[in-house]
Every structure is written in C-alpha cells, then in structure tokens.
C-alpha cells in the first residue's frame, strides 16, 4: 500500500514540475503576474512530493520490504540499519531519486533566498529547473521506477554490493550530487538571462553564490570519493582515471573556470558570452556524467547497474536540454555588448587563459574517457586508454595554468606596467625555484625532477598568493585594521589557491615517493621497512553481521617506541561470496602507514602488503582548504548583497546595485 503511495507521489511531483515549468516561463514572456506567482508554490509542492517518495523508499529499506524489486536487489536482513539507509542510493533507481530530490532541494533554496531577484527573472529560473525535473521524473517513471514490485516476494534480499558497505559511501554520493546537480542553478540562471534576451552582468552577480556553493560540494564530493577509494579498495590508490571519476572531475574543471569567469563578468563586465557557455557546459557535463555512468556505454568500477534503454533516454534529455540551450545561445549571444575593455597584460588576460586551459584539460579528460567510443565509431582498431594517457596529457596542461595563476593573482584588472610587473614577479619566481630545488635536492633522491617541479609549482602559488596579501597591507599604518578591511572573498581566494598548492604537493610527493613491500608473515614475525618495524602480533577470526573476516593485528614500532597498532581485515561477504580487504591505516600529517592483508598461504602464513605513503593526506587537505575558500567567498557576497539591498531600498537608487 505504502509503495503505491510512493508511485503516486512521484506522479504528483511530475504534475507539479510541469506546472512549475509552463506557467512561470509563459507568464514571464507575457508579463502575466498571476502565472509568474505560481513559481514558488509549485516548486515547494514538488519538493514535498519528492521528499515523500524518498522517505517511503527509505522506510521500505528500513523494514526490509522485499516485495519491492529495488530493495530486494540491494539489501538484506543481515545488513546493519545504516547501510540499509544508504542502500537507498546504492544503485541506479534510488540514486536517480536522490538526484531529483537534490534538484528539488536546490530549487526550493532558490525560492527562499531570492527575494532580491526581479519576479520575471526568478520565474524563468524556477521554470527552467522545473523543466529539468520533468525530464528526470519521466526518466524515473518510465525506465527506472524504484517502486517496481517483485513477485514472488523473496525471503531475503541479494545484499548491497560490499564495496558500498562503508561510511564513505553513506555521505559521498549525496555530497557529490549536491555539486553535480547544483550546476543546474547556474544553468537555469544563464538560460533565464538568455530567455530574457538581456545578457547584462546582473545574472552573473546573482548566480555567483549558487555556483560557488555547488562547486564547494563538488570539490568535497570528489575528495570524499578519492578518500573512500584509498582506504576501501585496499591498495592505497586514490585516483584511477576511471570513467565515473572523470565524469565528476570534468564538471569540476569547468565549474572552476565558471566561478572565475563569473567573477570577471560581475566585476568587469567582460567574457559575458563565454561565461554563459561555461554555465551551459558545466551542466551538460553533469548530465553527461549521469549518462556515462548509467548507460553502460563505458564499463567502469562504478557501473553497478547499466542498461542501454536508460542510456537512450538520458541521451535524449541531454540533447533536448543542451541542444536547445545552445540554439538559444546562438540566437541571443550575437547581440551581447561588452562593456569592459582590457589590455594584454592584465588580470583579465590571465583569467581568460586559465579558463581556456581548464576547458582544454576537460577536453583531454573527455577525450580519454570516450576514446574507446570514437575508435570504435571510426573503425580504426583497438586501443585502450588508461592512467598513463591521462598523466601524460594532464600535466602539460596544468603547468601553464599554475604559472598563469601566479601572474593573475598579482596583476591588476585592466592593465599593468610591464616593467613594474616583471620586477614584482622576478623575486618570487626565483625564490620559489631556488627553495623548491633545495627541498627536492635535500629530501628526495629518486624522481628528483618531477618532485622538484611539483614543489616549485606549489611554492609559486603560495608565494604569489601571500605576496598579494602583503601588497594589500604593506602601506597601511594600522596593520590590524588593514587585515580586517580586506573582504572575505579575498581571503577565500587566498585560502583556495593555497589549498590547490597543498593538493599539488600531496599528489606529487605521494605519486613519486610512496614505497611498498609485500611480505609473507606468520604470527610473531617481524620485518623492518621504511624506518619502521612491523610486528604481526595476532591473526584473529571474526564474524561481522554479514561477513566472515580474518584480522591481522600489527604493531608498528619506531626506535623501540610503539607508534600504533594497526588492524587489517580480509572479509568474505557471505551473501555474494565476495572478498574485500579492509586496510589498516595510521594517518599522519606527513605520512600514512597503510597495511592490507592479502591471501592466506600455506601453514598459517599470510601475505601482507605494507605501504609508506608520504603526504597523502595533503591531497584531501588541499580540497578542504579549497572548499573553505569558496565558503568565505560566499559569506562575503551574501553580506555585500544584503547591505546593497538595504541601501538600494533606503535610497531607492537603482544605480547602487550596479556599481561595485
């Protein structure tokens, strides 16, 4: 009974989505106030219905209702309750419902935090988001209904894929989806601006905090996914250039270009068309990601459920949404007037270079991801694309990006004096190279060149960022006040860029200097490796709720001091008869020690793999810093908008809104 309620809620949500799309957009076109006023209530009702459907699915998982095919395929009575909860988005149908729910969360957030937007603009934004929702609700109802019944009802479920039975997988998909789907807001703002035929800078200003927020979620979501792969897949890898990882990385690259380009459009009135294109592109890549993951066009570790008919449906959605957006763009973009101008040596130039480089980086990733398709389409033969390709093409694109980043941070808008600029840069450039070479020479004997390149890049970004702060305060008398006067968004930029440097450091040093050995060990065996002594104290047999495990207990000793005791398990999940390794990790600021239990050998010995991974935490630390930077920028904007609106209403002066 309750399941039917789920179905009905989805249909009701669809009806609301149609109204939310049709009336506000037509209303805005015709200037009909009543129709436009339907935008907010229909959006909120749609959210309510989708939420009900979602809660019903959660409930069905919690009470083990195996009459629902989706529950039966992805859960089991032995599964702990929190995994039954996260199993809701453990496969295709449920993750699609989560997708729609998150789209609705963004929409309803827009309805609440948009008081300052003109009615016709808001109506169009909400209408476009309704259109996206229609597409995905139809997709769900026709090809992937999570409430489909199963008959006869099985006694027990097939269990959740053991890879997904992990805390990281409870939070990773929702956060990643918040990022993915969040770009629909930027997209809707861009389309609303195109529909209005008025590509001034206001749309950029309004959509900036939303885009930043989506970008923050995407950053954290990708970092979480990488961290999960690191500890859960049991071999210490943190990035695989897997199609699904690429699918989240591509919108991140474009999203990064977009937040910078939006800033330029907002502040300087330039790159208007380019920014619109980036907004469309970011959302297109989110849709493409969904398509690649769900269609089975490409096989990957994440493709837990694939089906070609679903692929056709998503592809149709992609073509309709993005195709029509680009047609609209082709019609409206020619009439855009650029208001700002800039010289060659200016911050604008570097921003433009870097957003082009980010686009190129995205295209290389896209090429690598769909390469098997292209080769097949052209009948050219057989080739496989793996990590070597991506590493080979990605680094050459990132190198100029890092250099321009430093230039961009230290240059002024509009124009710079070439001599002065060069003088400013010279000392910083020399010192980052010198210090980088010294660090590399002292600490790293192997792969020296690559290590030095990475460290120099990180130092260059950090030095230029800190120097830009120094410039701001050096001539001020009261330094404390000077620090306070600097807007949050500046600190945000600083922290995000330094976060990028931190990630570069982590990636470089971990990739170049991780070491590992694998060893046959019996209880009480000791081995020495990477300045540590490892002592296998015990091998215990354990049984979990839905698995059997052998656990190795290993003491890690340095200079006769016990550093930590690590536990690594080899689990066999009984329902699917699938082995999984749970790694034992001692996390540290400058290194991780990572132990993974291999296979049982003869006479009670096991193979054990030991890893020493320097600076691996910095990869994710950098991502967290980038997210904090983004957050500071949002806080700043909200504060400013708030004040501006107040000023505008008290002076009743429109001009205030358009000046900086």
Partner 1 sequence: MRYLFPLVIFAGLATLFVFGLQNDPRYVPSPLINKAAPEFILPTLHKPDQNININDLKGKVSIINVWASWCAACRIEHPLLNNYTRKHQLNLYGLNYKDKRSDALQWLENLGNPYIESAYDEIGTVGIDYGVYGVPETFILDKKGTIRYKHIGPIDDKQFNRIIMPLITKLEQEQHP
- Summarize as ranges the residues that interact with partner 1 (CB under 8 A): 233-235, 240, 242, 273, 277, 280, 284, 291, 295-297, 299-301, 303, 308, 311-312, 315, 318-319, 322-323, 326-327, 329-330, 333-334, 370, 372-377, 381-384, 386-387, 518, 576-579, 581, 596, 598-599, 607, 609
- Residue 206 or 271: which CB sits closer to partner 1? 271
We find the least distance from the C-beta atom of residue 592 to partner 1, in angstroms, to be: 17
Q: Strand pairing of 561-573 and 547-558? A: antiparallel
- Asked if 59 and 117 count as a contact pair (C-beta separation under 8 A), the reply is no
Rg of the chain taking only CA atoms, in angstroms: 27
We find the least distance from the C-beta atom of residue 75 to partner 1, in angstroms, to be: 19
Q: Which of 570, 596, 633 is nearest to 213 (CA)?
A: 633
Count how many residues are written for the chain. Answer: 660
- Residue 152 or 334: which CB sits closer to partner 1? 334
Q: Strand pairing of 606-614 and 591-600? A: antiparallel
Cα 130 from Cα 133, distance rounded (Å)? 5
Which uninterrupted H or E stretch holds 572?
Answer: strand 561-573
- Asked if 191 and 329 count as a contact pair (C-beta separation under 8 A), the reply is no
Provide the 8-state DSSP code for 551: E
We find the least distance from the C-beta atom of residue 284 to partner 1, in angstroms, to be: 7
Q: What angle do CA 165, 167, 171 make, to 5 degrees?
A: 110
- Residue 40 or 571: which CB sits closer to partner 1? 571
We find the least distance from the C-beta atom of residue 95 to partner 1, in angstroms, to be: 17
- Residue 577 or 650: which CB sits closer to partner 1? 577
We find the least distance from the C-beta atom of residue 140 to partner 1, in angstroms, to be: 19
- Residue 227 or 329: which CB sits closer to partner 1? 329
We find the least distance from the C-beta atom of residue 472 to partner 1, in angstroms, to be: 38
- Residue 518 or 647: which CB sits closer to partner 1? 518
- Residue 450 or 576: which CB sits closer to partner 1? 576
We find the least distance from the C-beta atom of residue 133 to partner 1, in angstroms, to be: 22
**Maximum pairwise Cα distance, the chain:** 86
Residue 369's CB is within 10 A of a number of other CB atoms, namely: 26
Burial track 215-252 (b if 16+ CB lie within 10 A, e otherwise):
bbbbbbbbbbbbbbbbbbbbebebbbbbbbbbbbbbbb
Instruction: Determine the 3-state secondary structure of 518 from DSSP.
Output: strand
Cα 567 from Cα 586, distance rounded (Å)? 10
We find the least distance from the C-beta atom of residue 513 to partner 1, in angstroms, to be: 16
We find the least distance from the C-beta atom of residue 175 to partner 1, in angstroms, to be: 22
- Residue 67 or 607: which CB sits closer to partner 1? 607
Q: How far apart are the first and last CA of the chain?
A: 57
Instruction: Determine the 3-state secondary structure of 57 from DSSP.
Output: helix
Residue 544's CB is within 10 A of a number of other CB atoms, namely: 15
We find the least distance from the C-beta atom of residue 232 to partner 1, in angstroms, to be: 12
- Asked if 7 and 22 count as a contact pair (C-beta separation under 8 A), the reply is no
- Asked if 408 and 421 count as a contact pair (C-beta separation under 8 A), the reply is no
We find the least distance from the C-beta atom of residue 569 to partner 1, in angstroms, to be: 12
- Residue 234 or 440: which CB sits closer to partner 1? 234
- Residue 206 or 547: which CB sits closer to partner 1? 547
We find the least distance from the C-beta atom of residue 352 to partner 1, in angstroms, to be: 16
- Residue 243 or 630: which CB sits closer to partner 1? 243
- Residue 367 or 657: which CB sits closer to partner 1? 367
Instruction: Determine the 3-state secondary structure of 567 from DSSP.
Output: strand
Q: What angle do CA 379, 384, 390 make, to 5 degrees?
A: 120
Instruction: Determine the 3-state secondary structure of 386 from DSSP.
Output: coil
Cα 317 from Cα 266, distance rounded (Å)? 31
């Amino acid at each position: 009974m309750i399941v039917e309620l789920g179905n009905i809620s989805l249909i009701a949500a669809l009806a609301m989505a149609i109204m939310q799309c049709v009336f506000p957009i037509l209303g805005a076109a015709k200037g009909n106030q009543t129709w436009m006023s339907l935008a907010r209530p229909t959006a909120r009702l749609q959210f309510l219905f989708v939420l009900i459907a979602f809660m019903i699915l959660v409930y069905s998982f919690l009470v083990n209702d195996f009459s629902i095919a989706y529950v039966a395929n992805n859960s089991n009575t032995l599964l702990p309750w929190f995994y039954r909860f996260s199993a809701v988005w453990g496969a295709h149908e449920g993750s699609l419902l989560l997708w729609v729910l998150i789209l609705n969360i963004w929409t309803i957030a827009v309805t609440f935090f948009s008081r300052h937007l003109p009615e016709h603009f808001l109506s169009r934004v909400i209408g476009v988001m309704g259109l996206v929702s229609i597409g995905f609700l139809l997709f769900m109802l026709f090809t992937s209904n999570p409430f489909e019944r199963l008959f006869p009802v099985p006694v027990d479920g097939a269990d959740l894929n053991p890879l997904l039975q992990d805390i990281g997988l409870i939070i990773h998909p929702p956060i990643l989806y918040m990022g993915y789907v969040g770009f629909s807001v930027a997209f809707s703002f861009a389309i609303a601006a195109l529909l209005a035929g008025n590509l001034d800078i206001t749309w950029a200003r309004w959509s900036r905090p939303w885009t930043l927020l989506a970008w923050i979620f995407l950053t954290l979501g990708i970092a979480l996914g990488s961290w999960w792969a690191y500890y859960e897949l049991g071999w210490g890898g943190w990035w695989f250039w897997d199609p699904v990882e690429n699918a989240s990385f591509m919108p991140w690259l474009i999203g990064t270009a977009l937040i910078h380009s939006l800033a330029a459009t907002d502040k300087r009135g330039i790159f208007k068309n380019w920014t619109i294109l980036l907004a469309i592109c970011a959302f297109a890549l989110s849709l493409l990601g969904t398509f690649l993951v769900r269609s089975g066009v490409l096989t990957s570790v994440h493709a837990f459920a694939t089906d070609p008919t679903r692929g056709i449906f998503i592809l149709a959605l992609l073509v309709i949404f993005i195709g029509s957006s680009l047609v609209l763009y082709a019609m409206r973009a020619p009439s855009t007037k650029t208001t700002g101008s800039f010289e060659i040596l200016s911050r604008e130039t570097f921003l433009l270079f870097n957003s082009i480089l980010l686009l190129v980086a995205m295209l290389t990733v896209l090429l690598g991801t769909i390469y098997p398709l292209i080769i097949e389409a052209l009948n050219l033969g057989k080739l496989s694309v793996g990590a070597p390709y991506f590493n080979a093409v990605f680094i050459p694109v990132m190198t100029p990006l890092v250099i321009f980043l430093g230039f961009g941070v230290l240059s002024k808008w509009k124009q710079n004096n070439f001599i002065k600029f060069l003088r400013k840069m010279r000392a910083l450039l020399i010192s980052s190279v010198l210090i980088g070479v010294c660090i590399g020479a002292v600490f790293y004997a192997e792969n020296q060149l690559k290590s030095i390149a990475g460290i120099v890049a990180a130092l260059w970004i950090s030095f230029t960022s800190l120097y830009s702060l120094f410039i701001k305060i050096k001539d001020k008398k009261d330094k404390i006040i000077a620090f306070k006067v600097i807007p949050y968004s500046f600190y945000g930029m600083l922290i995000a860029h330094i976060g990028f440097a931190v990630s570069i450091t982590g990636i470089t040093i971990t990739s170049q200097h991780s070491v590992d050995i694998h060893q046959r060990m019996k209880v009480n065996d000791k081995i020495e490796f990477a300045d540590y002594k490892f002592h296998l104290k015990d091998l215990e047999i354990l049984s979990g709720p839905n698995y059997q495990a052998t656990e190795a207990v290993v003491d890690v000793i340095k200079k006769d001091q016990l550093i930590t005791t690590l536990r690594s398990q080899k689990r066999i999940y009984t329902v699917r008869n699938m082995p999984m390794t749970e790694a034992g990790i001692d996390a540290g600021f400058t290194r991780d020690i990572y132990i993974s239990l291999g296979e049982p050998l003869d006479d009670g010995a096991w193979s054990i793999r030991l890893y020493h991974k320097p600076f691996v935490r910095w990869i994710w630390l950098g991502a967290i810093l980038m997210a904090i930077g983004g957050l500071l920028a949002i806080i700043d904007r909200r504060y400013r908008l708030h004040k501006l609106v107040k000023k505008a209403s008290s002076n009743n002066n429109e001009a205030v809104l358009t000046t900086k």
